[in-house]
Structure 1
Amino acid sequence: MADLDYDVVVVGGGVLGTFHAYHAMKKGLRVALLEQDNMPKSATVRNFGQVVPSGMNTKWQEYGRKSLKTYKKIHAKFDITVRQEGSIYLASDDEEVQLIEELREINRANDYTSILFTKSECLSKYPGLNEKYVKAGLFFPEEITVEPRTMIGRMHKYLKKKGVSIFYRAKVIECNALSNQVSTQLANGRMLLSSKVIICNGNDFKTLYPQLFAMSDLEISKLQMMKTKPQGNYKISGSILTGLSIRRYEAFAECPSYLKIKSREPLDSLEKKWGVHILFKQAMDGGVILGDSHEYAAAENIDDLGFDLNMEIDNLMIDKAKEIFQLPTYEIDQRWFGMYSQCKNSDIFEKTIDENIHIVTGIGGKGMTGSAGFAKHNINQLFNI
């Protein structure tokens, strides 16, 4: 059975594919969005839900800032769980203070609002923060959080209301370029015809184009996270990023002092071994999400990362978190890991096949923050808008 009515078929219902579908719809295109499961189950729903352009380099911060506008614009019409409570980077020593001061100057030049907080201002705004840990903070008031598992489902409902056709359990088994169209064959026997196909799902990319996938520079990052039991009346607002994040995030690599400061770090610490940098965010149920860690493997060796949680990593993160925040409880309610693909040598994987089949994947940890802004740019580019 063939369906002839689409300008673009987007493969992958995660955040990157969903916002490609959104921006295509906004341009008046007829859109179908395909999700292989009954709802997205991968990286999109297995992260903090921190939308933090402040942590990105100059190029991707611009995409992230456009994402902020998109999230807020949609949320004003349809609740997608946006909370604008800002983000803060907490510096724990003089080197990290120097980096946040330098980042403030970079963002002043970029016309992106940031506010330097003194130690006392940090302690006043964030109850439970350990006064022995914090020396200063850099606050970004425009930044938001979302609830990933809820947000993506609500985005799909919003797209349906706007006329996007969404197909679940729609496993793609073949894409073929025709004279002026692309046929997309599903495992359930259905075939969709469209002017273009955009593949935003790493699993479908691997299945449909195994040789190209094998030749790519994609690697997989495995992140461990956890959530405490609800904290009662205790409230912590926005995204909390700490000293290890300052030393890790790409935005700080543009600071003049970054390389010298990084060169003085010990190479054999457990934090470096497991790629740990401590983040906090309070979930809607009152529990506090904390993490995370990073283990890497080439995409074709994903099984090397295993299917289990490494309790040494979890215990390390809890111990580090306790040095930063004195929460009412550190009793853990949930533990999980997420995996995302990224490129070793570029910021995203893009490949066009036969002019009208476009692979866009490997956005890495930038997905929740950068996808909405990047997708707008990419749709405009692909359709010459």
Structure 2
Amino acid sequence: MADIEYDLVVVGGGVLGTFHAYHAMKKGLKVALLEKDAMPKGATVRNFGQVVPSGMNTKWQQYGRKSLKIYKKIHAKFDISVRQEGSIYLASNDEEVQLIEELKEINRANDYTSILFTKTECLRKYPGLNEQYVKAGLFFPEEITVEPRTMIGRVHKYLKKKGVSIFYKAKVIECNALNNEVSTQLANGRMLLSSKVIICNGSDFKTLYPEMFATSDLEISKLQMMKTKSQGDYKISGSILTGLSIRRYEAFAECPSYLKIKSKEPLDSLEKKWGVHILFKQAMDGGVILGDSHEYADADNIDDLGFDLNMDIDNLMLSKAKEIFSLPTYEIEQRWFGMYSQCKNADIYERTIDRNIHIITGIGGKGMTGSAGFSKHNIQQLFNI
């Protein structure tokens, strides 16, 4: 017999699982959140901490905008490291200027505030920006940044205060449907009984349902990032996204000129080979995080991506970054990579087993921005609330 009963057990304490637990709690459900490690250590804590609905297509922008409200609402009650300093896309040539102008019109139709900045306005707002690089910018004042490694732990503390049971070092080894309930067996011998289970972690998905995982359309993206030493008194605010981001992000694919502009790009460039686009974000300790890159492998062949950093990629990103910003120092203090899963043929991987076991994973690069809003919608759907 199980010693505790829940309405919902969420497997995976990253941002996607955490916000499923949050919204279930908000609906009055009794919730347990299970994290296999001492604290989340995957993609949730290995990213920039940029919450940028502006970069998403129209469907996911709606989830991202809901996420902004959720982050801000929690932060107003409990400090989760939110800073509302906006995001800007810096156009480096006439084609990119055309794309940001078109995106502004799309966002005007979507009632999402964006402001076109002239070259002079960009240079005034962002000290150290290379005047030879920037032609114009598109600024989104509502957007925020968080400190990923701080944020998730603080949201967990908030959830505990609200009555969510959180178990760390809770490795799930088996889920079994029992009529209208699900038993979740942990490696430590404990068993939890719940009405539903949601599995939001790709590693747990692979452990619990290996055949299904192996035949899924999930792929893994490996992203390299780095952080400079503290910049002292030098400050840059918010999220800085550049011309390569304009050429990569989903939002711009909805612009009328996008396909024509993309068709002119060289197919054999290193930027395309390694999926490089240059982002900047200043961390609270004064260092500037910059990156990133994208290398891909099928989820069942994750080892093909290797365990090491590719220094050729880092060197390319550094050289590109120096063309955009003159920082007081480009001395690197930390280097790391993150990995996230995404679907090849869908927005997110969703699979239901025996009615009450739901696999929700593969949110890809949309995780930090889209998870909070998407999870609200998903909890409403799964519990018919």
Q: Scaled by the length of structure 1, what TM-score is found?
A: 1.00
Q: CA RMSD in A?
A: 0.5
> How far, CA to CA, are the matches of 2:250 and 2:202 in structure 1?
23
Distance 1:287 1:128 in 2: 15
Name the CA distance, whole Å, in 2 between partners of 1:319 and 1:205: 39
SS of the residue 2:84 aligns to? coil
- Paired amino acid for 1:102: E
The one-letter amino acid of 2:31's match is V
**Matches of 2:198 and 2:129 in 1, distance apart?**
45
Q: Secondary structure at the match of 2:230?
A: coil
CA distance in 2 between counterparts of 1:353 and 1:259 reads 39
Instruction: Report the AA paired with residue 378 of structure 1.
Output: N
| 2:200 paired residue number | 200
Q: Which residue of 2 aligns with 1:119?
A: 119
Looking at structure 2, the residues matched to 25 and 364 of structure 1 have their Cα atoms a distance apart, in angstroms, of: 25
Within-5 A mapping of 1:1-385: 2-385=2-385
Output the CA distance in 2 between the equivalents of 1:90 and 1:257: 17
Secondary structure in 1 matching 2:380: helix
CA distance in 2, matches of 1:22, 1:3: 23
Alignment deviations for residues 301-353 of structure 1 (CA, whole Å, 9 cap, x no partner): 10000000000000000000000000000000000000000000111000000
SS of the residue 1:333 aligns to? strand
Letter in 1 for 2:272: K
Q: Secondary structure at the match of 2:261?
A: helix
SS of the residue 2:73 aligns to: helix
Partner Cα separation in structure 1 for residue 179 and residue 323 of structure 2: 62
3-state SS in 1 of match to 2:193: strand
Gap regions ≥5 residues in structure 1: none
1: CA distance, partners of 2:232 / 2:2 = 54
Amino acid at match of 1:223: L
Structure 2: runs of 5 or more not aligned: none
Instruction: Measure the CA separation in 2 of the matches of 1:325 and 1:354.
Output: 53
Please give the secondary structure, in 1, of the residue aligned with 2:80.
coil
Distance 1:3 1:98 in 2: 61
- How many angstroms does 1:214 deviate by? 1.0
- Measure, in 2, the Cα distance between the counterparts of 1:273 and 1:197: 39
Percent identity for Structure 1 against Structure 2: 90
TM-score w.r.t. length of structure 2: 1.00
Aligned equivalents of 2:4 and 2:319: distance in 1? 57
Amino acid at match of 2:16: L
Q: Once the 2 structures are TM-superposed, how far is the Cα of residue 215 of structure 1 from its aligned partner? A: 1.2
How far the C-alpha of 1:2 sits from its partner, in A, is 1.9
Letter in 2 for 1:290: L
Q: Distance in 2 between matches of 1:81 and 1:163?
A: 22
Q: Distance in 1 between matches of 2:2 and 2:82?
A: 38
CA distance in 2, matches of 1:194, 1:298: 32
Distance 2:3 2:41 in 1: 27
Report the Cα offset of residue 4 of structure 1: 3.2
SS in structure 2 of the partner of residue 337 of structure 1: strand
Structure 2 SS opposite 1:2? coil
Please give the per-residue CA displacement for 1:49-100, whole angstroms capped at 9, x wherever unaligned.
0000000000000000000000000000000000000000000000000000
Structure 2 CA distance, aligned partners of 1:359 and 1:298? 18
Q: CA shift at 1:5, angstroms?
A: 2.4
Runs of 4+ in structure 1 over 4 Å off: none
Provide the secondary structure at the position in 1 that maps to 2:156: helix
Describe the superposition over 1:259-295 as per-residue Cα deviations: whole angstroms up to 9, x where unpaired.
0000000111110111000000000000000000000
Q: Secondary structure at the match of 1:134?
A: coil
| Cα distance in 2, alignment partners of residues 127 and 4 from structure 1 | 56
- SS at structure 2 position matched to 1:159: helix
Q: Partners in 1 of 2:306 and 2:332 — Cα distance?
A: 22
Paired letter, 1:184 = T
Deviations 1:185-216 (A, max 9, x none): 00000000000000000000001001111110
CA distance in 2, matches of 1:270, 1:36: 37
Displacement, 1:41? 0.4
Kindly provide the amino acid, as one letter, of the partner of residue 67 in structure 1.
Answer: S
Aligned partner of 1:119: which letter? K
Distance 2:66 2:179 in 1: 36
Partners of 1:52 and 1:33 lie apart in 2 by 26
Distance in 2 (CA, whole Å) between partners of 1:331 and 1:147 is 21
